[in-house]
Amino acid sequence: MLWVKALHIIFMVTWFAGLFYLPRLFVYHAQSDDRASIERFKVMERKLYYGIMAPGAVLTIVFGLWLWLGYGFSGGWLHAKLALVAVLVGYHLWCGKLLADFKHDRNAKGHVWFRWFNEFPVLILFAVVILVVVKPF
């Protein structure tokens, strides 16, 4: 089980690297008006989303489900954690929609909006890690 948990945590870190960095790229992309920068951001965002964030998300969930269903974990903390993970998956998919908007030069949101958007995963990370380590209920 410890190998499964180790891989679960490793891919969770990978996923969060993307969840923290992609919206930051959106902040700078939204502030850019020269073509060279805009095209560079498009390449960085696409590689980050499909090359790091998506595999990180899928493997975090695969090893998490393996821990849950394979080793019989249960409790209120796990239900609350799964609800927050569902919200995180929604945020991940929203990033995919924003990625497509930028790809087609149809983003209408400003950099301030993305700065606030960028903070949301921090709240989820605090809540999920406290739930799974402290198991308050």
Which is nearer to ligand HEM, 9 or 27 (by Cβ)?
9
For residues 131 and 70, the answer to whether their CB atoms sit within 8 Å is no
Q: Is 92 in the site for ligand HEM (CB under 6 A)?
A: no
For residue 6, state whether it binds ligand HEM (rule: CB under 6 A): no
User: Is residue 9 at the binding interface for ligand HEM, with CB under 6 A as the rule?
Assistant: yes
87 binds ligand HEM (CB under 6 A): no
Q: What are phi and psi of 10, to 5 degrees?
A: -60, -45
Position 67 contacts ligand HEM (CB under 6 A) = yes
- How crowded is residue 13: how many other Cβ atoms within 10 Å of its Cβ? 10
- From candidates 5, 40, 46, 115, binder to ligand HEM by CB under 6 A: 5
Q: Give, as one character, the DSSP assignment of residue 50.
A: I
Residue 37 beta carbon to ligand HEM: minimum distance, rounded to whole angstroms: 32
Residue 17 is a binding residue for ligand HEM (CB under 6 A): no
Instruction: Give dist(CA 124, CA 137) in Å, integer.
Output: 17
- Is there a contact between 137 and 77 (Cβ–Cβ < 8 Å)? yes
The phi and psi torsions of 7 (rounded to 5 degrees) equal -65, -35
State which residue, 21 or 68, has the beta carbon closest to ligand HEM: 68
Is the Cα torsion angle 110, 112, 114, 117 positive or negative in sign? negative
Chosen residue from 36, 105, 133, 136 binding ligand HEM by CB under 6 A: 133
Question: What residues line the site for ligand HEM (CB under 6 A)?
Answer: 5, 8-9, 12, 60-61, 64-65, 67-68, 73, 82, 85, 88, 125, 128-129, 132-133
